[in-house]
Structure 1
Amino acid sequence: IKAAVPAGPSIDTSTYRKYYTHPFLPLTQKPLFMISDFRERRTLDDMFYLLMGVVLLLAFVRTVFPRYFKNLFVLFLQTSLRQKQTKDQLLQDNLGSLFVNLLFIISASIYGALVIGNKEWLDYPFWHIVFFGAGLLTMVYFGKFLFLRFSGWVFNSKEAAVNYTFTVFLVNKVMGVILVPFLFLMAFAKPGFKEVALTVSVGLMILLLLYRYVISFATIRNTLKVNALHFFLYLCAVEILPLLLLYKLMADYIGGRF
């Protein structure tokens, strides 16, 4: 006796009922309506290429102007700035000085933008802060250069003005080179390492500034017959106060309050 052939396809209701009530397949729940924003993946490719450009500039200076680069640190590490031959060699190489000054402007502006971004002090695009900082540093130090040269001409102290200007820009150039490895740490390291890099770099910059002021005072003390109090008043009036005012102006401008 043959078994009866079913008239239609068989339906496995038990299996369907099992998955119909499964918690990961909420077929009986009310549908949800939601709008998800497009996820923009944040990459650091532009930062990597920017910092590689800084390294390329440093390598260019090191390769094209090897004598200038070497004399820069030789003179910086000497106990005094009386080594006239080394100093004269640095003063004669204007093109090398220009590129190292450019390295300082770029390194310092990127460093400032990274610090502002990591600390979330300003809600402003990174590139805008870099360009604004570079323009601000250029304006400050170009104005300082003109002011010192003009003061040396007015007070008939050209040699003292040249020596002080040379010391200021010498320390700036060394600072621009030293900041390069910290840029990579501030950009790509983990938050804990970023804090360590920030602390160490700020400490080094403070030491460099103190070194600059001590050497500058020792350089012009005998020429202009000034004491420590007069030099301190000069620093407050001509260097520290303008920088604080420009920083306040930049913060107000970027923050939209200006």
Structure 2
Amino acid sequence: MLREVLSTELYTISLIICLVLVAIAKLLFPKRFQDFLMLLINFRYLKVYSREQKFIDVFEGLLFTNLIIGLSVFILLCFNLSISIPEAEYLTPPKLAFGIGMLILIKILLERLVSSILNMDSIIDNYIFQKVSYKNFLGLLLIPINAILIYSWYPTRISTSVFIILLILINVYGILIFIKDNLKTIKKNWLYFILYLCALEISPYLVLYKIYTL
């Protein structure tokens, strides 16, 4: 169903920024970007680049920035169910993007802290890399999803719920792939790993679901 043209300037700017970030990532790292696009069906990216992890990674930084911008737009569309943002609230998307970015970074730091306490640094480092990779992949998917919700479909509870479920399923898929590939190592620390998943992975999604369905 086509929608009437409303105030979409801020969303359009956000989408353009996301496209520019992805284009820069592809331009600077063409081979890595090509491998990254095949993440769901080919695990070469995870096997090759997990060994080249850096504290500051430009490629991941560009895609992570795209993720938090796209996610902030998606959250606004889900909760407002509207594409019109009053002029007085034009700072809301940047503030939300900053908050999301800080929450994710703090969560990663906590995960690294917990992994050190539980003496699981090697496995959790690989897990975090794989999880961030799948989240950045979701950032790519959010570009067309947000474009659809802004310019084509009215963002209803049904349409946004479908997209939310899709994004969660891909994230869960990444976790299951990691468990399959590291099953022997996880078996040695299965109790700690389960506690880790429940505390830092499953519970946040349950809280978000509870908030969304209120």
Q: Same fold (TM over 0.5)?
A: yes
CA deviations 1:168-225 (Å, max 9, x no partner) are: 101101000011011111112242x867753542232122122022123334442242
CA distance in 1, matches of 2:26, 2:41: 18
Give the secondary structure class of the aligned counterpart of 1:43. Answer: coil
1:139 Cα deviation after fit: 2.4
Using the alignment, how far apart are the partners of 1:202 and 1:217 within structure 2? 23
| Residues 35 and 45, structure 2, Cα contact 8 Å, conserved in 1 | no
| Offset from partner CA, 1:141-180 (integer Å, 9 cap, x none) | 2122212222333333221111111111011010000110
C-alpha distance 126-243 of structure 1, shift in aligned 2 (>3 A)? farther
Alpha-carbon distance in 2 for matches of 1:131, 1:247: 23
- Structure 2 partner of 1:185: 148
SS of the residue corresponding to residue 114 of structure 1 reads helix
8 Å Cα contact 1:164-1:220 kept in structure 2: no
Flag the 1:146–1:230 CA change in 2: closer, same or farther, 3 A.
Answer: closer
Alpha-carbon distance in structure 1 between the residues aligned to 2:124 and 2:45? 15
The one-letter amino acid paired with 1:116 is F
Distance 1:226 1:124, change over 3 A: farther
The alpha-carbon distance between structure 1 residues 248 and 207, as it changes in their structure 2 partners (threshold 3 A), is closer
Name which of 131, 147, 152 aligns with 1:168: 131
CA apart distance, 1:61: 1.6
**CA positional deviation for 1:63:** 1.7
* Matches of 2:177 and 2:69, distance apart in 1: 25
- CA separation of 1:145/1:47 partners in 2, compared to 1, >3 Å: closer, same or farther? closer
RMSD: 3.5
Which fold has the larger relative contact order, with Cα–Cα distance below 8 Å and residues 6 or more apart in sequence?
2
When residues 47 and 214 of structure 1 are mapped into structure 2, their CA distance, relative to the original with a 3 A threshold, is: same
* Structure 2 CA distance for partners of 1:185 and 1:197, relative to 1, 3 Å: farther
Which of the pair has more CA radius of gyration?
A: 1
Segments of structure 2 that go 5 or more residues without pairing to the other structure are none
* Structure 1 portions without partners, runs of 5+: 1-40, 250-258
The whole-number CA distance in structure 2 between the counterparts of 1:219 and 1:203 is 24
TM-score when normalising by structure 1: 0.64
Pairing 1:124-139 to 2, within 5 Å after superposition: 127-139=90-102
Structure number with the higher helix fraction is 2
- The 2-side partners of 1:201 and 1:63 are apart by 29
Q: Tell me, what secondary structure is at the counterpart of 1:54? A: helix
1:113 to 60, 64, 76: 76
Using the TM superposition, give the Cα deviation of residue 88 of structure 1 relative to its aligned residue in structure 2, in angstroms.
3.0
TM-score, normalization by structure 2: 0.75
2:174 to 206, 212, 223: 212
